[in-house]
Amino acid sequence: MRLFNEAHWPKDLAVKLVKGNGKAKLAVFEDPNCGYCQAFDQQTLTQLDNATVYIFLWPFLGEDSVAKAEAILGSDDLAQAFVDWMDDGVLPDGDPTEEGQEILKKIFELAEELGIQGTPAVFTADGHGPYGAMTISQLRHRMIETP
Q: What is the predicted pLDDT for the residue at 143?
A: 86
Q: What percent of the chain has pLDDT over 90?
A: 88
What are the pLDDT digits (tens) for 89-101?
998 888 999 999 9
Q: What is the predicted pLDDT for the residue at 147?
A: 41
Confidence of residue 2 (pLDDT cuts 50, 70, 90): low
What are the pLDDT digits (tens) for 42-101?
999 999 999 999 999 999 999 999 999 999 999 999 999 999 999 999 988 889 999 999
Measured in whole angstroms, the distance separating CA 85 from the mean position of its chain's CA atoms is 13
24-30 vs 121-124, strand pairing mode: antiparallel
| pLDDT above 60: residue 9 | yes
Q: What is the predicted pLDDT for the residue at 68?
A: 96
What's the CA gap between 2 and 19, in Å, rounded?
28
Q: What percent of the chain has pLDDT over 70?
A: 96
What's the CA gap between 119 and 116, in Å, rounded?
8
Confidence of residue 112 (pLDDT cuts 50, 70, 90): very high
